[in-house]
Structure 1
Amino acid sequence: MRGFWLKIEEKISRSLVWALDNHPGKLLGTSIGFMLGLLFVTLGFWQTLVLVLFAVIGFVLGKRQDEHKDLSAWVEKTFNKY
């Protein structure tokens, strides 16, 4: 039985690597769409929207930190517009 699951795992791995090499945009888009759909069904529209908003804010802040840009100056500049 263990051999059966190893073969299944190998086939899935090969398929994912092939899809990532040949169709990365389609794979990413499908994965994001699936996750958003799952969140809508389980959490509801507004809670999913808030979750996505916080994820985007976290991504932007993390990206700025990775690029060694001054985070406090950016926050101050962004919020002083309003």
Structure 2
Amino acid sequence: MNSELLAKIWQYHSGKIIGLVTGFLVGIFILVFGFLHTMFVMICMVAGYLVGKRIDEKEDIMDILGKLLPPGYYRQ
């Protein structure tokens, strides 16, 4: 594969790639401890992709946490 193409893909999709790989690795570690955690692997991959997508869209991590956490856990 062309290194220029890989650099361009990394430039525009680095957050999604990192999130997907991280979610997959966490899922694999969980899978080692039990076969029925396969669904957990899929959830980790989707969650990693969604967080990475938001990072690619330049959304602030603290705003994401503010939406996910219950009131009182995040102070602005």
TM-score range, shorter chain: 0.3 to 0.5
Instruction: Name the TM-score, length of structure 1 as normaliser.
Output: 0.40
Larger helix percent: 1
Instruction: Name the TM-score, length of structure 2 as normaliser.
Output: 0.43
- If asked which structure has higher relative contact order (CA below 8 Å, sep 6+), I would say 2
